Amino acid sequence: MGKTFSKPRSLTDQPTHYCPGCTHGVIHRLVAETIDELDIMERTVGIAPVGCAVLAYNYFNCDFQEAAHGRAPAMATGIKRVRPDLVVFTYQGDGDLASIGMGEIVHAANRGEKFTVIFVNNAVYGMTGGQMAPTTMPGQRTTTSPRGRNVEEVGMPIKVAELLAALETPAYITRQTVIDPKGIRKAKKAIRKAFEYQLAGRCFSLVEVVSTCPTNWGMTPVEAVAWARETLLPYYQLGEFKVPE
Would you say 104 or 210 has its CB closer to another protein? 104
Please, are residues 92 and 119 in contact by the beta-carbon 8 Å criterion?
yes
Shortest CB 143 distance to another protein, Å: 22
Q: Return d(Cα 160, Cα 175) in angstroms, integer.
A: 9
Site string for another protein, 49-78 (x = CB under 8 A): -----xx-x---xxxxxxxx--x--xxxxx
Which residues, 25 to 44, sit near another protein by CB under 8 A?
Answer: 41-44
Stretch that binds another protein, among 101-109, 144-152, 201-209, 227-235 (CB under 8 A): 101-109
Radius of gyration of the chain (CA): 17
Please report whether residue 97 would count as binding another protein according to CB under 8 A: no
**Residue 199 is a binding residue for another protein (CB under 8 A):** no
Q: In terms of Cα–Cα distance, which of 172, 194, 150, 157 is closest to 241?
A: 172
In Å, how far are 116, 123, 189, 205 from 172, measured between CA atoms? 9, 22, 13, 5
Q: How far is the CB of 129 from another protein (least distance, A)?
A: 16
Percentage helix, strand, coil for the chain under 3-state DSSP, each rounded to 5: 40, 20, 40
Which residues of the shown chain bind another protein in the complex (CB under 8 A)? 41-45, 47-48, 54-55, 57, 61-68, 71, 74-83, 85-86, 103-104, 107
